Amino acid sequence: MSEQEQKFELLIEGILENGYGVCDNFLNKEEVENLMETFSVRYQQGKFKEGGVGKTSELQKNAEIRGDEILWLNNDSNECAERILLNINFEFIKYLNKTCFLGIVDSEIHYAKYAKGKFYRRHRDTFQNKKGRILSVIYYLNFDWIQENGGNLIIYTNKKGIEEAITVIPLAGRMVCFESDKLDHEVTEALLDRFSITGWLLNS
């Protein structure tokens, strides 16, 4: 089994056991640095938009719920750092379909910046009356991040009627994957600018 497949297996085991998986060093230092350089260029181009709440046809901006700025990645991007990430994401999809028979056919991914003071209140990554999102994936880009910096991902699990709040620090190279339609989660207020790439694996 390759090193990449071992990382995939770690994530799958976490999902099967707890509904979510966490893999440190999923992206290496160079990959994160290159993505951050590209992130910076994209942001300086002024193309980021405020994240909205709800599906596309009913999208609403509500800073009391969500405060990140986002830019969707083009799945056909030829930019080197983006292409590497998209290829890794595609390999993960192929592995999931091969080993777990999930029938994933596509993905959607965006950059996300949480400026100081921004957050995303508790929510779930699926819409009423609309299926498609099977798994949520997050790739973190923040070097030397500590829990006290805020911007932490909180995942709410429920076993035998007992809710538990799991804190995940958005540390550079860390990848998180969880079932989109089953787990509530939130991003706590960031005390420093916080960067990630977030996406969903789709079955339709």
**Every domain of the chain and the residues it spans:** 3-51+63-202
Least confident of 63-67, 116-120, 169-173, 184-188: 63-67
pLDDT at 112 over 70: yes
DSSP H helices in 101-173: none
Q: What are phi and psi of 184, to 5 degrees?
A: -70, 150
Q: What is the pLDDT of residue 99?
A: 97
Fold of 3-51+63-202: Jelly Rolls (2.60.120)
Q: What are phi and psi of 104, to 5 degrees?
A: -75, 130
Mean pLDDT for all residues in the chain: 93
Instruction: Round to whole Å and give the CA distance between 200 and 203.
Output: 10
pLDDT at 57 over 50: no
pLDDT at 133 over 80: yes
pLDDT at 6 over 70: yes
AA identity, residue 110: H
AA identity, residue 97: N
Strands of the 120-123 sheet, one edge to the other: 120-123, 184-187, 153-159, 162-168
Q: How crowded is residue 69: how many other Cβ atoms within 10 Å of its Cβ? A: 17
Give the tens place of pLDDT for each residue, 173-191: 999 999 999 999 999 999 9
Q: What is the pLDDT of residue 103?
A: 95
Q: How crowded is residue 53: how many other Cβ atoms within 10 Å of its Cβ? A: 15
72: Cβ–Cβ under 8 A, 6 or more apart, which residues? 108, 109, 110
Report helix, strand or coil for 120.
strand
Instruction: Round to whole Å and give the CA distance between 181 and 161.
Output: 18
Strands (E), 87-132: 106-114, 120-123
Instruction: Round to whole Å and give the CA distance between 53 and 66.
Output: 7
Bridge partners for 156 per DSSP: 165, 184
pLDDT at 192 over 70: yes
204: Cβ–Cβ under 8 A, 6 or more apart, which residues? 105, 131, 132
pLDDT at 53 over 90: no
pLDDT at 44 over 90: yes
Least confident of 36-50, 52-66, 160-174: 52-66
How much of the chain, in percent, has pLDDT values that exceed 70? Answer: 92
pLDDT at 59 over 60: no
pLDDT at 128 over 70: no
Give the tens place of pLDDT for each residue, 159-178: 888 999 999 999 999 999 99
22: Cβ–Cβ under 8 A, 6 or more apart, which residues? 11, 14, 168, 174, 175, 176
List the Cα angle 26/29/32 in 5-degree steps.
75
